[in-house]
Structure 1
């Protein structure tokens, strides 16, 4: 009987394994596929559930989600999560339980927040009661509009849930922008109770992405939208070494654009770490244009956890705006694929770009570092 119980426990654990895989799964023949997934409205967020289901959430007049169980080849009909309200971003997979958490705000923030939980990899959603604790400044942040959250895997905070957030101060008026800041919320009880982090080390920021590097350090990449900020058309980054409670080592990422470059307003971008054991390969998405239009959604690759970004590749040469990214999971139909959900494209609404690392590596060299030998492809 003891052996049967042990084997059953191992089977349950294997279903929610979040272990890193191998580089080869993201290589092979270069591939890119783009398809429309939603009409009209705004605000993308994409993640991959523990069973490999790709979940694409969307909406500025109510929030809905579509699900792919074949790695992004086909998609289910939309499932309505909330009839009205704003996409809050930060959709988070709990890699310990397999649950997925969705965040919705009643209107443009600051506004009341609802959290929904799915226990079946995104097929159905139930609203849950949640406690939000403020940071040391007494601020409970808004959710809109950030990239997906994650479960920490490495170090003493392994198992913690974390997602980027934004403090809007007294509102989204221009005179309040200098008081805005980006930050995060984290949970150590599977998403029932959340704590707000201290501010990102720059005011006038908001709409961000967080990934965990293989040493447990958190890499934070943010939009800036205040015209008086230094070099305000380029992205910002900082790091956390305490599981997302505080942020340090702020810097400007000069190689990465923050939206179209004719003004200092920025644009939401996507970020993902590829689940490759022993490597910190990151992919980042944003606009790459000198024109006064939101267009040309592009992907950049870093082989060293965001220290350098030596290659980029255009995904769509046309109207595009906010974007979100996620990477496929090992031993599921999503393995080896990177998923980019973005506003715009040939049909408007939301598009899904699906590609592999081999495709990105055949892009344009940026001059910011070099592609290492272990990533070179013929």
Structure 2
């Protein structure tokens, strides 16, 4: 297992580095995207990318691909690895969404296009006040669909609040040319404020969503859809996946699922950053390895060309009164889990 700290708290021109996304291309290039913040969720922030062409041993200098110009929050970057193409969506002030693509392994990127109309159309079904996809990477299905969970909140009394919330998906069936939103996964008494979620495509072609939520029982909630955009059903609380109400990561490959999160209760803070493996489409998670004593938001991606897992995670939370976030990338082989 190799651990590389790529950003340090209050170093490099920003205060905090948070909310990461990571993918690996079909040529083995690892690309990470994340927020470079001057403060909290609504502070001014920029969006950065780093690349590794040697399997995570070394990383490029930080490249700013979208700027907040000291005013706007540029947040929730989502990367998609689509063969030789890499897609990137990102958000401005929890209301607008932009789309970019790279044809050269993340070296250069297209000018951002505005795809906010997909979110605007969603307002006919859920009149949101703030909205964002991810965090984490987006999924490219076996049929070529680009898809990522989206959380949306509607609060007219406090238009900056992230609650109450629901979940849907944002998807494209034409490699990023056009985008639209799927069916809403609702807020209800036994599923309070579903929000930041992750997806996997199962061996039978169904989509599984694994949700963060505010129900209060300390367990992730899981449900299924035939296509990732409609007819969600079969939801249950997974008693194996304890969670402190935090963003998690999920990836798949070679018949396995891997899941990363802080394997602890809410009262413990965000500790025991761990990775788990399932060999039966997420029904059981018998294999677990702890990656760090402290943790936060994480994302994980499996690279078939390199037969390696890449975990990017917030690291170095100081106290309950002090934000202290940097970012680390952990490279490990599947054999190191279990």
On whether the aligned pair clears a TM of 0.5, the verdict is: yes
Q: What does residue 6 of structure 2 align with?
A: 37
Task: Quote the Cα distance in structure 1 between the aligned partners of 2:101 and 2:249.
Answer: 23
Secondary structure class of the residue paired with 1:321? coil
Aligned positions of 1:231-242 closer than 5 A: 231-242=216-227
User: Secondary structure of the residue that 2:132 maps to in structure 1?
Assistant: coil
| CA displacement 1:51-70 (0-9 Å, x = unmatched) | 21111111141101000111
Distance 1:209 1:360 in 2: 21
1:196-245 deviation line (CA, Å, top 9, x unaligned): 11122544011111111222111111101x2xx2x531101111103433
Task: Give 5+ residue unaligned stretches, structure 1.
Answer: 1-31, 260-265, 362-378
Given that 1:54 and 1:68 are in contact with CA atoms closer than 8 Å, whether structure 2 keeps it comes out as: yes
Q: How far has the Cα of 1:181 moved from its partner?
A: 1.0
Partner of 1:323: 298
Shift in Å at residue 300 of structure 1? 1.3
CA deviation after TM superposition for structure 1 residue 190, in Å: 1.4
Q: Which residue of 2 aligns with 1:340?
A: 311
Inter-partner Cα distance in structure 1 for 2:277 and 2:54: 25
Specify the alignment match of 2:264 in structure 1.
289
Q: How does 1:137-152 map to 2 (within 5 A)?
A: 137=125, 142-152=131-141
- The superposition leaves residues 16-73 of structure 1 with CA deviations (integer Å, 9 ceiling, x where unpaired) of xxxxxxxxxxxxxxxx111101233211111112321111111141101000111111
Shift of 1:303: 0.9
- Matching of residue 357 in structure 1 with residue 334 in structure 2: yes
Are the equivalent residues in 2 in contact too, given 1:147–1:164 (CA < 8 A)? no
- Asked whether the 8 Å contact 1:39–1:349 carries over to 2, the reply is yes
> Which stretch shows the higher mean deviation, 298-307 or 98-107?
98-107
After superposition, what is the alpha-carbon deviation per residue over 1:262-305, rounded to whole angstroms, capped at 9, x for unaligned? xxxx00001011x21xx2x1111111235532222111111111
Which secondary structure does the structure 2 equivalent of 1:132 belong to? helix
Question: How big is the shift at 1:320?
Answer: 1.4
TM-score relative to the length of structure 1: 0.74
Kindly state the Cα deviation for residue 178 of structure 1 after the two structures are TM-superposed: 6.2
* Uncovered stretches (5+) of structure 2, i.e. residues with no partner: 10-15, 38-44, 318-323
Distance in 1 (alpha carbons) for counterparts of 2:127 and 2:53: 39
The answer to whether residue 167 in structure 2 is matched with residue 188 in structure 1 is no
Per-residue deviation, 1:173: 5.3
CA deviations 1:307-365 (Å, max 9, x no partner) are 01112111011x311001100123xxxx111111000149940000111121111xxxx
1:308 aligned onto 2:288: no
RMSD: 2.4
| Structure with greater helix percent | 1
Is 2:158 aligned against 1:170? no
Asked if 2 retains the 8 angstrom alpha-carbon contact of 1:164 and 1:210, the reply is yes
TM-score, normalized by length of structure 2? Answer: 0.82
| Residues 250-261 of structure 1 mapped to structure 2, 5 A cutoff | 250-259=235-244
Matched residues in 2 for 1:38 and 1:144: separation? 23
Tell me, yes or no, if the aligned pair for 1:285 and 1:324 is still in contact at 8 Å. yes
Runs of at least 4 residues off by over 6 Å? 174-178
